[in-house]
Amino acid sequence: MSTADLLSGFASSGEFHAIDIERASLIETRHQMLGDLICEQGLDGLLLTRPSNFAWFTVGCDSTRGSWNDVTSALFITPDARVVLSRNTDSGQLFDRQIPGLGFQLKERVWTEGREVLMSDICRSRNVACDQPYENCPDISPQLAGMRLPLADCEMKSLARTGEMLAHAIEATARNFQRGETEAEVAGQIAHRLMRHRLTPVRIQVWADGQGERYRHWSYGEAAIESFCTLTAIAKRNGLHVGASRTVSFGTPSREFRAAHLDSLLVESTGIFFSRREWEVYETWNRIERIYEKYGHTEEWHFADQGCATGYELCEVPIVPRSEYRFQAGVPIYWHSSIGPALSSDTVLIADDGLSIVTRMENWPRIDIDVKGVNLSRPDILIRPE
């Protein structure tokens, strides 16, 4: 028997994953949190079925096959155990590549039965709560939503890296696509750059020549880009979401479009500047609304949502008038302000001593926006040759 035959059953060194001590410690902490909740509620266990909660508890594990409509696994938590419920077609990859050595147990079924059989079996004759409506289980999703934020230190570092890669993908696409290409072709280029760096595209918008003024949630279509375009992308990595946009003009933009872009930056910058620790959302919202009014766009905020606290869910908490949600350090906010054909968006992270731009510009023209005497460097329009 050859040496190659002897070694064929063994994994290569590249397949072994060193245990991340910080991640393992955070999982233990979250297990303790849920264990306390189980005891307080007089439960036997807790069933986590939503990908966001699965990713939060495991600190980044993906329980889907790339789409939240194709969920492969769930978690059953007791004070003493954390058990993955999965199909035999998915469990190997999950344990080998995503949660190796992190103290999880496995219960699986063959693919012909699926995880629902396991979920039903494990809930039978037990007092089990779930993170969404399921059979007769009480739904404790509100309690879990409150646990997903703020982010831990290692999650904030991961978010920052994701923001860098997202901004790079959008900006590189904006600098290189050709005039006359369609929105769909440019969206494909953004997706390609994201996926090369293991970011999962969640939402891509390409607004050609004012398309967004008609449809504020427009994604992309077959229209060719002739004069100007705004590129927006939201992506996730390790379960966490980040979003940003950049705007391009072939030749000098019209006075009307430049004014709309500047005003959208003013609104977004106001939101960013007043995303302050311990402030309630309505305090920030009131200042945003005043900017809309001051520059003659009183009705614009009615046409599209303005932002949200993001995290393991794309929208953990919406930014809406009269909201009493209190900003905290470690909470990422995705601001996206639109006026007419213009859209400005970036993700920021609230800190104890201020905030940081997660999707900071890499190689992009900048414009200083004054908010209460403070200059914020924001993305200007990239002007390319006609």
Residue 190 sits in a domain of what CATH number? 3.90.230.10
Query: 162 and 81, same structural domain?
Result: no
CA-nearest of 212, 346, 323, 204 to 267 is 346
- Residue 216 included in any domain: yes
Query: 158 and 48, same structural domain?
Result: no
Strand partners, 208: 229
- Residue 66 included in any domain: yes
- Domain tally for the chain? 2
Strand pairing class (128-130; 45-48): parallel
The last residue of one of the domains, among 119, 145, 171, is 145
- Residue 355 included in any domain: yes
- Provide the pLDDT for residue 67: 65
**How far apart are alpha carbons 93 and 108 in whole angstroms?**
13
Four-residue CA torsion sign, 270, 271, 273, 278:
positive
- CATH number assigned to the domain comprising residue 33: 3.40.350.10
- Provide the pLDDT for residue 274: 97
- Residue 378 included in any domain: yes
The last residue of one of the domains, among 145, 177, 201, is 145
CA-nearest of 215, 211, 213 to 186 is 211
Query: 197 and 98, same structural domain?
Result: no
Q: Provide the CB-side half-sphere exposure for 67 (13 A, CA).
A: 2
Query: 70 and 157, same structural domain?
Result: no
Domain, as residue range, for 286? 153-384
- Residue 236 included in any domain: yes
- The CA-CA-CA angle for residues 330, 331, 335, to 5°, reads 140
Query: 334 and 195, same structural domain?
Result: yes
59: left (phi over 0), alpha (psi -120 to 50) or beta: left
- Residue 222 included in any domain: yes
Query: 316 and 354, same structural domain?
Result: yes
Instruction: Return per-residue pLDDT of the chain as tens, 386 residues.
Output: 333 343 344 344 344 456 889 999 999 999 999 999 999 999 999 999 999 999 999 999 999 987 657 899 999 999 999 999 999 999 999 999 999 999 999 999 998 987 888 999 999 999 999 999 999 999 999 999 999 999 999 999 999 999 999 999 999 999 999 999 999 999 999 999 999 999 999 999 999 999 999 999 999 999 999 999 999 999 999 999 999 999 999 999 999 999 999 999 999 999 999 999 999 999 999 999 999 999 999 999 999 999 999 999 999 999 999 999 999 999 999 999 999 999 999 999 999 888 999 999 999 999 999 999 999 999 999 999 99
Query: 179 and 132, same structural domain?
Result: no
121 close to 47: Cβ distance less than 8 angstroms: no
Query: 256 and 178, same structural domain?
Result: yes
The last residue of one of the domains, among 105, 128, 145, is 145
- Residue 5 included in any domain: no
- Residue 311 included in any domain: yes
- Provide the pLDDT for residue 17: 59
- Provide the pLDDT for residue 52: 97
Query: 238 and 90, same structural domain?
Result: no
Query: 227 and 116, same structural domain?
Result: no
Query: 41 and 164, same structural domain?
Result: no
- Provide the pLDDT for residue 45: 98
Query: 243 and 362, same structural domain?
Result: yes
Q: Is the omega angle on the peptide bond into residue 150 within 30 degrees of 0, that is, cis?
A: yes
| Count, residues in the chain | 386
34 close to 46: Cβ distance less than 8 angstroms: yes
